[in-house]
Structure 1
Amino acid sequence: MTVGTLCLSLSLLWLVIHAVHNARTHKAHVPLLPTTSPHLRANSQTHITLKHLHIHIQTTAWNPAHERLAALLASKHYGRVKKVLIAFYDLGAGMGVVGMGVGVGVLLWTFWELVVGLIGSGEVGREVVKRTMEATRVVQTGRASLLQPIIPGVTVPLTHLPLIFISVFVCQIIHEAGHALSAALEQIPLIATGLSLTLILPSAFVTFPSPPNTLSSAGDTQKQKSLARMRLVAAGAWHNLVFWGVLLFFTWACQGWSGGWGYVGYKDMSGKGRVVLGFDEDSQLRDHLPLGAVITKLDDVPLARGKVREGNGRNEVEDVWSSYLDGTYRPTEWENENREGWCVDRAWWMDKPTACCDDHHRTTTNEPTESRGSTPLLYCFSSLPTPAHGQSRDKCLDPIPLLTNPYSDTNSIEDHNSPTPPLGTRGRCSSSNPCGGGEECVRLREDERILRITFRDDPGGREEVVLWSGPRVEVLEQVEVGTLRPRFWFLPLGLPGAVRVFFNYLQMATLSLYIFNLLPLPFLDGTQLLDAILDFILVSVNGSGSYSDTIDLEALEDGRGRGGRMRGRDGHARLKYWIGRIVRAATLGLCTGCVGLGVINLMVGG
């Protein structure tokens, strides 16, 4: 998906929204019978407001269900259920305090990392100029921040945009459901629920009565009322944390259960290689690797299943696709000793030039090398040393006919000027499997950056080879692969991958909402939670009733509240006021500092 496609899609979406809304409004204002009432839809449960690129939908359809739930929880028959729910949301209040601490801690750590990164940016910049791309990437990875922003088109593909906003929307509904259920537990009526969409940003909300309602029963102590406020405020974030735990457990339980997709028409291809699912928009590999093709090997390293390696007292299956392309793959001793080459005619080999092997400043094009022009690009090959012919020799060859035709043994060995290399009778060779008489075993020199990608367009068909000239990591960045392939043409190739990505975004979104919403900042739950926490602590210490026993529920949802009011003029009330003010100001300063330093680091690093 390109930026132009995204803009066109959004334009069409909002055109459809406006067209449907106008048609619905026109139909609603054309009565079948004459009427003089200006409020034709006064009893409607749903109200829709549309202005430019913002739509707001508010409904009272859920109010009766909320009232019935509150009545059930208030009855004696459900007393045990109510106790369990109170204990559940008490735990949520405690985790709300933990979440606020974690959020502030993450901000502090990020601020410190950004300061250190800015101080050391000059030294790192010089390293980047002198080192290779691989070295630069390692240096940058070592200073990765705890906060990794998700920016469609920058840090993640634009095609992930719908999945990101759907996952955020689902997590917001779960968040608001927490406030609604906790309110039913405290016998607080629900005014309305609703959804809104601003350009592409979705949101959900619940509305409670305003002015403030007193929480809990009249016989509750100030400490109990403060705890009830904490339960209500933290309930939304608590639901997000519980949902994250459920997703984590589900992911762990289903790990490796790719065979389950077989029941809906997909086949696990991990025993043969990796399935090509997609490409970056500007990747030139899209013209050479078919979608749905199975990549079986990278160079001579098979991708089937994966490589079992020992580490930390347990065996782990290495993802060869990722490790081989990002440079972390470590071949075994047997693989090093038996690295294969190609048998070619010795006389043909000896006639080849050596100039390219001496030029260490030649340039290469980072693109697939699949067809030869009038002047083929030459790369340096080395022959394996043998007892009969002494040390290794370096020669310049066109790699395409040799590396893309590893199985042919029918080439003529008589025409030494032929661009097609005359392969020996064995075809492939190694130090333990030498060539026949009059032949040399040659292979690409290790410092040459050519990657052989072997694939099958049809799982039962002939293997084909594409050559990539350039850094291997670019293939990892440009090609999306998986292990599942549809058995039938009408099944989407990327459905299993999209489901996996969606679950990943759900986990990130719900955990982010848990932490971010609990920061003591304006328009977030953390402001009200901080007020309730201070009430709980100071009431426990002082034992007096001079503190706020109410909560501004409207402020809880729209963020207008700035903490509880001072009901008394004693020292504890003033202490609560100043502690809250200092914590909120410090948190806001940390957020502002992180954003500012992040922009500066980006400019310096760019």
Structure 2
Amino acid sequence: MSLSHAISIISLVWVIIHIVYRVWKPKAALLPTFNNVPRARSWVERSTTVTLNKVQLKVQTTAFNARHDELASRLRDRRSKQLRKWTAVFYSIGVMAGICGLVLGLVVLLWITGHSLLSLVFPTSSRLHSHQKRDLDSAAPTHFDASDYIRPVIPGLTVPWAHLPIIIVVVCLCQIVHELGHALAGALYSVPILSSGISLTLVIPSAFVSFSAGFMNSLDVFSRARIIAAGPWHNLVLWILLVGLGKTAVLVERTTGVGTMLVNLGWEDLSKEGRMVVGIDDDSPLNAVLRAGSMVTALDDISLASEEDRWSQYLMPQIPIDVPWYGWCVSQELFQTNSAECCKDAQPTLDRLCFDSLGRGKGCLNPIPILSTSEHQFRCKAESDCNDDAVCVQPDSSSSILRLSVQGQDLILWNGPRSEIWEQVSVDRYAPRLWFVPSTTIGLLREFWTYLQMATLSLFIFNLLPLPFLDGAQLLSALMDYAYPVLEPNNDVESGEGNAGLWKRRLERLVQFSTLCLIALYVLLGPLWGSV
């Protein structure tokens, strides 16, 4: 899916939302009302309020308030003393996890920002490219990059646009789990819920639970910290459960093979042959040479006949992979009689491509008769592998040529960024045995599982950053109130003790401002650092 297609689909969805909203909203009342929402339209249906403001849809309801009150009443019951005790212990652990997450988030933010700044100020020539060609006998290079550990999920840049619906669903589910944590912890202290709901801003979903501010402020510091940390704690617990379930499934699969047997009932594993094409963007130039169901067996000299995801490893620049060096033997006379003018051209073509030889300079050759051959005697790893009247050449490192080997058809030559193939073509190792089963089913389930783990862990860390409107800022405030209790407002201010509250609030704002500056600095340095 291209950017234009993604924008068109998102625009169409919002047009449909506006049409449905106008059709379903109740007729305007004859008598005037005092419900005034600036620049937005809203209507109320029983206990639910729907508000639409341009590209923001908000659904707010009080339908779950009674259930929450019932849970709070049950926890207050003497017969639920043990349940209340262990629930408090569970959320006390969440406070400890929240403190660790807050510190971890700040440390990681400082680390990646500082690493970006140092890499920009002191660039090193020893940094390896994402796809480095080396001899098979050479040792694996040591490579360290912050982006290997932290990768932002940006549709169209780091992940395909086709993943956007899965990302929206996954983030929405993780947000619901997050807010459920706040609600359950609030029920432990009988804090009433004013409302709950979900919202969608353009393509970003979110969920929320509104508590009574008066009740929250009346709680002691540690009780308030339990409620604040409960949301991120639920995200962390979900991540632990998902990882544990995944490890258990792998262990069961290794010992019994039951998973493979179940999958093989409906799908055929093609990983021993390569990767099957399950989708191609409509505007992709590969539509003319590829089709759904084609079997891609290799990318350049990287065989796809493996259980590893070599497709993504080779095409995505964020994932490094070692590529063995192989060249082609061509006539020495042909190579020397061709000039190297195309090597100076910033936009080479498939008619004249710059080739580099082992110590004999560069030359421009027609790549089609050279790269399209698959006979072993034309390949070389050293000059000695060729005859006396031949030289060993390969496409110059500045070129962006790529060979796709497809089963049952001629070799495909691609001239352009590798990441475009990854964005435009979807592949899978499984093919459905039944015609009515979508070929993308296994891939969608795999992506859903991966994004679910990624999103819930990311929400745990991100929500604990000390930023305005996030749990981290509220948790930091509660911790400071616990460390330095503030006297009542009617106490003697002239003694100097009344200034403690002002001092703490200023410190909180300083921490929040510093965190915002670190994030802004990392965002600004990110593109520059990536080009160093």
Q: What's the TM-score, normalizing by structure 2?
A: 0.75
Cα-to-partner distance string for 1:286-338 (whole Å, 9 max, x where unaligned): 432222322224456643235xxxxxxxxxxx65546666884466xxxx9xx
1:529 to 439, 452, 475: 475
Offset at 1:97? 0.9
Q: Distance in 1 between matches of 2:370 and 2:148?
A: 45
Structure 1 pair 74/478, CA: closer, same or farther in 2 (3 Å)? same
Match of 1:372 in 2: none
Offset at 1:488? 3.3
Cα-to-partner distance string for 1:559-588 (whole Å, 9 max, x where unaligned): xxxxxx797757676446524532431332
Offset at 1:89? 0.5
Cα-to-partner distance string for 1:68-118 (whole Å, 9 max, x where unaligned): 212222223322222221111010011111111112212222332233234
Contact 1:152 1:158 in 2 (8 A): yes
Q: Classify the secondary structure of the residue corresponding to 2:439.
A: coil
Structure 1 pair 517/587, CA: closer, same or farther in 2 (3 Å)? same
- Structure 2, unmatched stretches of 5+, are 35-42, 134-140, 254-258, 358-362, 380-386
Letter aligned with residue 71 of structure 1: S
Q: Distance in 2 between matches of 1:503 and 1:135?
A: 31
The 5 Å alignment of 1:589-600 reads 589-596=514-521, 598-599=523-524
Match of 2:239 in 1: 244
2:334 to 354, 364, 373: 354
Cα-to-partner distance string for 1:345-378 (whole Å, 9 max, x where unaligned): xxxx98x952467645545999997xxxxxx769
- Structure 1, unmatched stretches of 5+, are 31-35, 217-224, 307-317, 343-348, 370-375, 383-394, 407-426, 432-439, 457-461, 540-545, 549-564
Letter aligned with residue 454 of structure 1: S
Match of 1:17 in 2: 17
Structure 1 pair 279/592, CA: closer, same or farther in 2 (3 Å)? farther
Match of 1:422 in 2: none
Letter aligned with residue 249 of structure 1: G
Contact 2:65 2:194 in 1 (8 A): yes
Matched, 1:288 2:289: yes
Match of 1:466 in 2: 412
1:116 to 94, 105, 118: 118
1:97 to 73, 96, 99: 99
Question: How many residues of Structure 1 are paired with residues of Structure 2 in the alignment?
Answer: 492
Q: What's the TM-score, normalizing by structure 1?
A: 0.67
Structure 1 pair 566/212, CA: closer, same or farther in 2 (3 Å)? farther
Offset at 1:278? 4.2
1:496 to 434, 442, 456: 442
Q: Distance in 2 between matches of 1:452 and 1:443?
A: 23
Structure 1 pair 577/279, CA: closer, same or farther in 2 (3 Å)? farther
Match of 1:435 in 2: none
Offset at 1:154? 2.7
Contact 1:303 1:320 in 2 (8 A): yes
Offset at 1:515? 1.7
Q: Distance in 2 between matches of 1:109 and 1:466?
A: 43
Contact 1:46 1:58 in 2 (8 A): yes
Q: Classify the secondary structure of the residue corresponding to 2:411.
A: strand
The 5 Å alignment of 1:25-40 reads 25-26=25-26
Larger Rg: 1
Q: Classify the secondary structure of the residue corresponding to 2:66.
A: helix
Q: Classify the secondary structure of the residue corresponding to 2:277.
A: strand
Structure 1 pair 599/261, CA: closer, same or farther in 2 (3 Å)? farther
The 5 Å alignment of 1:557-568 reads none
2:224 to 219, 224, 229: 229
Contact 1:340 1:429 in 2 (8 A): no
Contact 2:113 2:521 in 1 (8 A): no
Q: Distance in 2 between matches of 1:10 and 1:430?
A: 50
Contact 1:259 1:268 in 2 (8 A): no
The 5 Å alignment of 1:442-461 reads 445-448=392-395, 452-456=403-407
Cα-to-partner distance string for 1:148-170 (whole Å, 9 max, x where unaligned): 43332233322222222222211
Match of 2:268 in 1: 267
Q: Classify the secondary structure of the residue corresponding to 1:304.
A: coil
Contact 2:341 2:364 in 1 (8 A): no
Match of 2:37 in 1: none
Letter aligned with residue 102 of structure 1: L
Offset at 1:254? 4.0
Match of 1:345 in 2: none
The 5 Å alignment of 1:48-447 reads 48-120=50-122, 142=145, 144=147, 147-213=150-216, 225-255=220-250, 259=260, 262=263, 265-278=266-279, 284-298=285-299, 302-305=303-306, 320-321=310-311, 328-329=321-322, 354-355=334-335, 359=339, 362-363=342-343, 400=368, 445-447=392-394
Structure 1 pair 574/527, CA: closer, same or farther in 2 (3 Å)? farther
CA RMSD of aligned residues (A): 4.7
Structure 1 pair 367/64, CA: closer, same or farther in 2 (3 Å)? farther
Q: Classify the secondary structure of the residue corresponding to 2:437.
A: coil
Cα-to-partner distance string for 1:23-64 (whole Å, 9 max, x where unaligned): 22346869xxxxx9989x999222222333333222121122
Q: Distance in 2 between matches of 1:441 and 1:482?
A: 44
Q: Classify the secondary structure of the residue corresponding to 2:147.
A: coil
Q: Distance in 2 between matches of 1:245 and 1:16?
A: 38
Contact 2:194 2:210 in 1 (8 A): yes
Match of 1:485 in 2: 431
Q: Distance in 2 between matches of 1:276 and 1:195?
A: 37
Letter aligned with residue 174 of structure 1: V
Letter aligned with residue 530 of structure 1: L
Offset at 1:173? 0.9
Offset at 1:396? 10
Q: Distance in 2 between matches of 1:11 and 1:567?
A: 57
Q: Distance in 1 between matches of 2:416 and 2:392?
A: 14
Q: Distance in 1 between matches of 2:470 and 2:484?
A: 23
Offset at 1:200? 2.6
Q: Distance in 1 between matches of 2:52 and 2:114?
A: 44
Q: Distance in 2 between matches of 1:580 and 1:290?
A: 61
Letter aligned with residue 19 of structure 1: I
Offset at 1:238? 0.6
Q: Classify the secondary structure of the residue corresponding to 1:86.
A: helix
Structure 1 pair 245/226, CA: closer, same or farther in 2 (3 Å)? same
Cα-to-partner distance string for 1:493-541 (whole Å, 9 max, x where unaligned): 33322332233322232222212222222212222212222233346xx
Cα-to-partner distance string for 1:533-558 (whole Å, 9 max, x where unaligned): 2233346xxxxxx658xxxxxxxxxx
Cα-to-partner distance string for 1:247-295 (whole Å, 9 max, x where unaligned): 2223334459673773673322112212224457775434322223222
Q: Distance in 2 between matches of 1:262 and 1:353?
A: 56
Q: Classify the secondary structure of the residue corresponding to 2:51.
A: strand
